[in-house]
């Protein structure tokens, strides 16, 4: 099962490790452990500001299977200037992880865009050619990691 990395500490932990593999445009980082626990939330009702009691905590779902893969992606603005391009690359990264999830070892995975795609080759910010080129490169990278 795939989950997304959301906490800054997890991204920093992954980026502090050396990249496992590299391709022309992407770098792949992996840590075998899981994400750090979420920091505790502050309860304003404990301060006495509210007149109501805190809401009861819901029971966890019965079919809650713990995740074995946590994925994240870093697509900096300096390599993909337009938001459309950054979103396209993030979608391709997540789709490639879904495709290779059963062959990858558990843990946290991070794909980082380390070089931009040539603007002369991919004129449109969101083109089918760019999506296909990114997907082929990501599939090759993740198949080597598996």
Q: What is the pLDDT of residue 63?
A: 52
- 109-140 core/surface letters (b: 16 or more CB in 10 A; e: else): bbbbbeeebeeeebeebebeebbebbbebbee
Decide: helix, strand or coil at residue 90. helix
Fold of 2-35+66-145: Ribosomal Protein S5; domain 2 (3.30.230)
Q: Tell which residue, 60, 95, 91, 59, has the closest CA to residue 75.
A: 91
The parts of the chain modelled with pLDDT lower than 50 are 65
Whole-structure pTM value: 0.78
Q: What is the pLDDT of residue 60?
A: 62
Residue-wise pLDDT for 90-100, tens only, equals: 999 999 999 99
- Distance, in Å, from the CA atom of 5 to the CA atom of 85, rounded to the nearest integer, reads 21
Q: What is the pLDDT of residue 39?
A: 67
Q: What is the pLDDT of residue 15?
A: 92
Locate the domains of the chain by residue range: 2-35+66-145
Q: Are 85 and 70 in contact (CB under 8 A)?
A: no
Q: Are 21 and 27 in contact (CB under 8 A)?
A: yes
Average pLDDT of the chain to the nearest whole number: 85
């Amino acid at each position: 099962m795939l989950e997304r990395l959301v906490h800054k500490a997890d991204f920093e932990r992954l980026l502090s490790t050396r990249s496992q593999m590299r391709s022309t445009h992407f770098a792949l980082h992996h840590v075998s452990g899981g994400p750090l626990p979420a920091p505790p939330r502050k309860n304003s009702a404990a301060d006495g500001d509210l007149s109501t009691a805190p809401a009861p905590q819901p029971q966890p779902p019965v079919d809650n299977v713990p995740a074995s893969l946590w994925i994240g992606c870093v697509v900096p603005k300096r390599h993909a200037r337009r938001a459309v391009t950054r979103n396209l690359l993030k979608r391709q990264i997540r789709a490639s992880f879904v495709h290779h999830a059963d062959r990858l070892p558990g843990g946290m995975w991070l794909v980082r865009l380390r070089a931009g795609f040539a603007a002369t080759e991919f004129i449109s910010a969101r083109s089918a050619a760019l999506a296909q080129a990114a997907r082929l490169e990501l599939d090759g990278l993740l198949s080597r990691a598996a």
